[in-house]
């Protein structure tokens, strides 16, 4: 596990295999927390999704223990481990952790000041608390899709990334965990954190929700400058079929753009609704006269708020990201050397050496149970029973 970083010394037990909770533990580990992934024993392996070996950065810098939480001894082993944990993260449907005997109250009995983070689609309470769902559902109910530009058939688009899982859930969990850890340092109190992904999406839409509550005007595609109302904030195709993004919100940047495109006549019409179609037509026609990278080379340094629309293959070779060590080397015993996204969020701990990505069958169960006070004979007995692996 990581030995450096802003969260060095914090121990996390993560019961999740995929989704927002797994993203949260990934980032916590990159901040230096010692994360232990808790998974099911092989005979129950089908109860969780097994992501590809490279997903979630291959769980680099983490340890792994396999327990049968449906057995009394397996549950007891988990609670022994929880006695030395600072944070527990789970992503079962509300009520499941309690039924298994590993819920907040159960952990509090062995670790009163634990920070216990429950992540779920709709939260622990409310009429939808037991609904199943995924990213697209949370973006739908949280208002995000209704404010996005529609596709050709008029319906909301499918986003290019799992935004609800990433920001609405995973980042919300990290923020709330860090806040709770800070309070614990001050007061000695733990916390039960109810992370609802749908709530997180609604929080991301707060600018529009607050506007509606005050004005009564319902936001949607083309409602304001950020949702496509004006030509100065849009995407344009270039001669080579690649696209460029324009975000010239401030009048000075918009004026710079118009002049650079030879369209000075539109400088004073940035927010003139009557001529937006004409401005867009001229922008489109002009951008189609040159290749994307030619436009970027000229416009981006000239205070025009222009940037290329990168594909993933382009992103991983982008010189800006390269200069900030976005991509790092990793190595897997069976799959060999490959690249992955590094610990690049502010304050995270990077590494100059290849990260070791472990095989899914590799565990630290014996080491971790020994640290928790189990004798060698006890561990052997648990393994023979199939309670741990």
Cβ neighbors of 340 (< 8 A, separation 6 or more) are: 54, 57, 58, 60, 327, 328, 330, 355, 357
Residue 81 vs residues 8, 76, 325, 373: alpha-carbon distances, Å: 18, 9, 35, 9
Give the residue with greater pLDDT, 297 vs 355: 297
Decide if 236 contacts 284 (C-beta within 8 A). yes
Report the share of the chain in percent with pLDDT over 90: 89
Count of residues in the chain: 389
The two beta strands, 233-237 and 243-247, are antiparallel
Nearest to 124 by CA among 100, 102, 95: 95
Name the token pair of 321: 């990201």
C-alpha closest to that of 330 among 355, 297, 349: 355
pLDDT at 46: 59
pLDDT value at 29 more than 80: yes
Give the model's pLDDT for residue 4: 72
Q: Mean pLDDT in the chain?
A: 94
Angle between helices 172-187 and 197-204 (to 10 degrees): 100
Determine the Cα–Cα distance for residues 79 and 383; give it in Å rounded to an integer: 17
In eight-state DSSP terms, residue 197 is H
Whole-number Cα distances in Å, 136 to 198, 221, 241, 329: 10, 18, 29, 32
Residue 1 pLDDT exceeds 50: no
pLDDT tops 90 at residue 51: no
Residue in the structure block whose two tokens are 């936001």? 219
Domains of the chain from N-terminus onward:
11-203+355-385 (3.40.50.10540), 225-237+243-308 (3.30.1540.10)
For the annotated catalytic residues, the residue numbers are 134, 165
């Amino acid at each position: 596990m990581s030995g450096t970083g802003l969260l060095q010394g914090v121990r996390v037990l993560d019961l999740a295999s995929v989704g927002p909770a797994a993203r949260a533990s990934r980032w916590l580990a990159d901040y230096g927390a010692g994360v232990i992934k808790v998974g099911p024993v092989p005979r129950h392996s089908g109860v969780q999704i097994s992501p590809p070996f490279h997903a979630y950065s291959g769980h680099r810098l983490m340890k792994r223990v396999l327990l049968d939480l449906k057995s009394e001894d397996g549950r007891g082993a988990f609670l022994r481990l929880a006695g030395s944990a600072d944070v527990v993260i789970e992503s079962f449907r509300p009520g499941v952790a309690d039924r298994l005997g590993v819920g907040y109250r159960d952990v509090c009995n062995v670790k009163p000041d634990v920070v216990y983070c429950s992540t779920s689609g709709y939260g622990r309470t409310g009429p939808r608390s037991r609904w199943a769902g995924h990213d697209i559902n949370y973006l739908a109910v949280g208002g995000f899709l209704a404010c996005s530009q529609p596709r050709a058939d008029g319906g909301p688009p499918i986003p290019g990334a799992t935004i609800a899982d990433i920001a609405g859930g995973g980042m919300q969990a990290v923020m709330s965990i860090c806040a709770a850890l800070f309070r614990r340092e001050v007061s000695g109190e733990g916390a039960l954190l109810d992370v609802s992904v749908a709530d997180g999406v609604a929080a991301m839409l707060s600018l529009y929700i607050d506007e509606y509550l005050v004005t009564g005007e319902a936001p949607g595609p083309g409602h304001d400058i950020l949702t496509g109302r004006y030509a100065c904030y849009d995407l344009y195709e270039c001669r080579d079929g690649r696209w460029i993004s324009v975000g010239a919100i401030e009048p000075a940047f918009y004026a710079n753009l118009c002049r650079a495109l030879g369209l000075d006549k539109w400088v004073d019409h940035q927010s003139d609704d009557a001529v937006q179609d004409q401005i867009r037509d001229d922008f489109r026609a002009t951008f189609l006269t040159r290749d994307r990278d030619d436009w970027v080379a000229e416009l981006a340094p000239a205070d025009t708020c222009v940037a290329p629309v990168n594909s993933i293959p382009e992103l991983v070779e982008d010189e800006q990201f390269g200069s900030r060590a976005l991509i790092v080397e990793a190595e897997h015993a069976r799959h060999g050397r490959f690249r992955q996204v590094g610990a690049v969020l502010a304050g995270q701990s990077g590494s100059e050496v290849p990260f070791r990505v472990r095989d899914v069958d590799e565990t630290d169960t014996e080491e971790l149970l020994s640290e928790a006070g189990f004798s060698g004979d006890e561990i052997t007995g648990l393994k023979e029973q199939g309670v741990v692996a």
